A and B are shown apart, each in its own frame.
Chain A
């Protein structure tokens, strides 16, 4: 079997292949999950802020 990763992290060994694939998938998906989660969290807070009254309701037009 050929070497599929760098020799330093022994990714070319057959025993490491499932972990190599699994971690590659996790590393690919995680950034989207983090950014998506953060965006959803901000959106939820925006909805809450939209329904809340202004800080000083005596000011304004």
Chain B
């Protein structure tokens, strides 16, 4: 509220300031700061992985008596996760254009694809543990579960947020700011995975 002096009687008159747009919604900014911190966290883990792999040599990475990673299955799963990110982007665009029903469908599709990714990853983990690749079986196993597990935890957290967002949209409570905040974190999870896939599974 702005206060100015009234020339007639000398009393202060309070007038409302014009409503202003926030430069960046607080929720989106908070998530972006979180994403920056998480990027450093994963950069640290990835650095340790790279140095560990280079020091171990090709015969110990993975060790000869340990199972090979499911490269092809995970490649398909990577495409599923990328499709989830695309679906969310479509949902955001639809919401911005006022098409709430399309936005709700796209967010629900994104959620479903994300859940499918985590379920397939989990089933692959169960198989790998059954074949003898565990956290304590080798340095490779430790790094594998640490890196991929940390990503999976982030994916699960983001899916909880996506589920809450989908529910809000169904009830008509969704806002562009919340969609932007949840989207920023999901895009981080989606964008990080191909990097981890190439480093851990392919390279």
Residues of A in contact with B (beta carbons under 8 Å apart)? 5, 9-13, 15-16, 18-20, 22-24, 26-27, 30-31, 34-35, 38, 41-42, 45-46, 49, 52, 54-57, 59-61
Interchain CB contact under 8 A, A57 and B18: yes
Interchain CB contact under 8 A, B40 and A34: yes
Contact status of A15 and B19, CB under 8 A, knowing A26-B43, A27-B47? no
A34: B residues at CB distance < 8 A: 36, 39-40
The 9 A-B pairs of least Cβ separation, nearest first, read A10-B55, A60-B18, A23-B47, A16-B55, A55-B19, A13-B55, A16-B54, A34-B36, A19-B54
Contact status of A49 and B51, CB under 8 A, knowing A27-B43, A35-B36, A59-B16? no
How many angstroms from the CA of A59 to the CA of B40 in the assembled complex? 44
How many angstroms from the CA of A30 to the CA of B29 in the assembled complex? 19
Q: Among B20-28, B84-92, B113-121, which stretch is in contact with chain A? A: B20-28
Chain A: minimal CB distance from B124 (Å) = 26
How many angstroms from the CA of A15 to the CA of B22 in the assembled complex? 51
Chain B, interface size category, equals 20 to 34
How many angstroms from the CA of A24 to the CA of B46 in the assembled complex? 11
Residue in B closest to A24 when the chains form the complex, CB atoms:
B47
Contact status of A38 and B36, CB under 8 A, knowing A26-B43, A27-B43? yes
Interchain CB contact under 8 A, B17 and A60: yes
Interchain CB contact under 8 A, B40 and A26: no
Interface residue? B32 (CB, 8 A): yes
Interface residue? B57 (CB, 8 A): yes
Interchain CB contact under 8 A, A15 and B43: no
Interchain CB contact under 8 A, B16 and A9: no
B48: A residues at CB distance < 8 A: 9
